Amino acid sequence: MGYEPKLGKKFIQFDFRSFGLGLIVGCLLVSTTYISLFRTDMDLVALWKSSQRASPTATETLTGLSRLGKQHGNVTREGETATKNFLSTRNKSEGRRQPICDLSQYRTDICDIQGDIRIVWNGSSPVTLVNPPGTSRTSESWEIKLYARKADRRVIRRVPKVKVKSLHGDQVEESPHCSVTHAVPGVVFATTGYVGNIFHDFSDVLIPLFQTTRQFKGQVQFLIANNKPWWIRKYHHVLNELSAYNFINLENDDRVHCFEHAIVGLQADKDLMIDTAKSPEGLSMVDFVQLLRSAYSLKRARPWPAGKEPGRRPRLLFISRGRSRRFMNLDEIVPVAEEVGFEVVSAEPKFMDVAKFAETVNSVDVMVGVHGAGLTNMVFLPTDAILIQVVPLAKLDWIAEHYYAMPALGMKLRHLQYNITTEESTLIQQYPRDHAVFTDPDSIRKEGWQKMAKIYLVEQNVRLDKDRFRGVLKEAIELLN
Ligand SMILES: *[C@@H]1O[C@H](CO)[C@@H](O)[C@H](O)[C@H]1NC(C)=O
Ligand SMILES: *[C@@H]1O[C@H](CO)[C@@H](O)[C@H](O)[C@H]1NC(C)=O
Ligand SMILES: *[C@@H]1O[C@H](CO)[C@@H](O)[C@H](O)[C@H]1NC(C)=O
Ligand SMILES: *[C@@H]1O[C@H](CO)[C@@H](O)[C@H](O)[C@H]1NC(C)=O
């Protein structure tokens, strides 16, 4: 049976009735408080046709597998070395043979498979690669966790896993017959882990998906391992831009999908960043941002041009947060921003309506927000626009820099950081000034992430000092000019 791509009939039309049902995920504030609701395993079967592929000896396979098993989900240096040794041993003994799966990366496991590939849902196991009869005596298998945050042991235990398996000669005959033969490559991934938090939606799924599949220019079949219709609906603009085909929800699919090329797992480098040097197509975050502009029909590629639009002032957006790390005195700060020369917009993202907020963000030249997932919306800003990151108390330097400041530069935005003072934190209303919350944040941190998050990320709001904040606003307007 041939497979007819349904061009034009895309995600938004697919399985529409169930879209309304999944809206159970509120915007929880701290990603590690997120609990992934699904755990699913599956079977993927692939027939391996390459005649160049020699088989490893039984001993090599066993040693390799046990090393890989230990290394899996373990990002210690020892683990990485074990994998490298394993791969180079195979290299030496087997000439041209390529490893099928790469488990050596810090963030992600990924298999790039060419051959005769069968992908099936089997309730509780994997992708299988099968050697043609007679050429192989042993089989190999890999277990791939479908989430680009494999160092996070808390979450990785609960993500869907896929077994990729190469079968030996006799097993080939047992491999299932194709129900659907796909002419384009397949990419298997999951919407799992901390998704629902916009930072993780982009960092852990959308950007990795872009990195992995942009090379196919839309000619790629997505196979999603777990069913989260609300997520697909939420990001259908982006998914439609990346694939011209209806996605396949493996969880409810009893067909055998056949491919000549499949990728299991997604490439991922750093949070909200793409390592251009590692990308075969030289992709960068600037390319990703351009894809978003196209997906959401965003008009502005550049920020406010001084003097070019008479009567128009540069626009500044305060991103409001609903429940935590809120701006407490915008009524005082907005007039200051206007005095400095901005037209001020204040908006709060709606959980499902990404397109509308993308348009708002794209319409401004400066975006101001308290450190938190909402800053991820900077992906919609015009190039060279300015992100002002307000950093609350808590010694958040490292994440402020790695989650937002460096990514902002990678997208060719400009980044200004505003560290609040103790007086600008609402925690002064809750704790005495000599409390460890102010004098020794490290001791709070030592009491555990939950405690630290509760105090600094959930209970803390921000009351900006007008005069101090005026300084950073002036700096921003000078940069725009
Ligand atoms: C990770 O690797 C270290 C060093 O090899 C080992 O001691 C530890 O048990 C491993 N952890 C897991 C979860 O495999
Ligand atoms: C395998 O061999 C090729 C060519 O000899 C080399 O470029 C590659 O780095 C080797 N791979 C590993 C994992 O050692
Ligand atoms: C599917 O699962 C069953 C039961 O666990 C197993 O016997 C069978 O071999 C699996 N099929 C494939 C194709 O792996
Ligand atoms: C904010 O604080 C960090 C560390 O405490 C410091 O490195 C950085 O320079 C500060 N930034 C500004 C703009 O004050």
| Amino acid 137: pLDDT | 54
Task: Identify any residues that bridge with 388 across adjacent strands, giving them in sequence order.
Answer: 368, 416
**Which tokens go with 95?**
């000439």
> Do 148 and 110 form a contact (C-beta atoms < 8 A)?
no
Helix ranges restricted to H, 235-379: 236-242, 285-295, 330-340, 354-362
Residue 319: beta bridge partners?
A: 347
Closest CA to 225 of 470, 8, 447, 39: 39
pLDDT given for residue 429 in this prediction: 93
397 CB within 6 A, ligand 4: yes
**pLDDT of the residue at 172:** 64
Q: Is the CB of 87 under 6 A from ligand 2?
A: yes
Q: Is 114 helix (H, G, I), strand (E, B) or coil?
A: strand
Q: By three-state DSSP, how is residue 181 classified?
A: strand
| Ligand 1 centre distance from Cα of residue 74 (Å) | 6
Q: Is residue 1 packed enough to be buried (19+ CB in 10 Å), middle (13-18) or exposed (0-12)?
A: exposed
- Could you report the per-residue pLDDT of 133-189, keeping only the tens digit for each? 334 456 778 889 999 999 998 899 888 888 888 766 666 667 788 899 999 999 999
Q: At what angle do helices 330-340 and 466-480 cross, to 10 degrees?
A: 40
Please tell me the distance from the alpha carbon of residue 367 to that of residue 318, in angstroms, as a whole number. 6
If we measure between CA atoms, which residue out of 193, 223, 220, 219 comes closest to residue 205?
A: 193
Residue 123: CA atoms inside 13 Å, Cβ hemisphere, count? 0
For ligand 3, whether the C-beta of 45 sits within 6 Å is yes
β 110-119/41-47 pair status: antiparallel
Q: What pLDDT is stored for residue 260 in this prediction?
A: 87
CB 3, CB 182: distance < 8 Å: yes
Say how many Å lie between the CA of residue 13 and the centre of ligand 4. Answer: 48
Integer angstrom CA distances of residue 423 from 136, 319, 452: 70, 21, 19
How many Å apart are CA 227 and CA 250, to the nearest integer?
Answer: 8
Check pocket membership of 419 for ligand 4, CB cut-off 6 A: yes
* pLDDT at residue 473, as a whole number: 97
Nearest-angstrom CA–CA distance, 36 and 34? 6
How many other CB atoms are there within 10 angstroms of residue 406's CB atom?
A: 15
> What would the pLDDT profile of 403-459 be if each residue is shown by its tens digit?
999 999 999 999 999 999 999 999 999 999 999 999 998 898 888 888 888 999 889
Tell me the pairing of strands 127-130 and 414-419: unpaired
Kindly identify the ligand whose nearest atom is closest to the C-alpha of 103: 2
H/E element, 207:
helix 207-213
For the stretch 326-349, what's the b/e string if a residue is b when 16 or more beta carbons lie within 10 angstroms of its beta carbon? bbebbeebbebbeebebebbebeb
Distance CA 463, CA 471 (A): 16
Residue nearest to atom 5 of ligand 1 (CA): 78
Q: Which residue has the tokens 């555990």?
A: 448
pLDDT < 70 positions in the chain: 1-99, 123-138, 167-173, 307
- Residues flanking ligand 1, CB < 6 Å: 70, 74, 76, 78-79
Furthest C-alpha separation in the chain = 79
Give the global pTM. 0.77
Query: For residue 170, what is the enclosing H or E element?
Result: helix 169-172
DSSP string across 364-376: -SEEEEESSGGGG
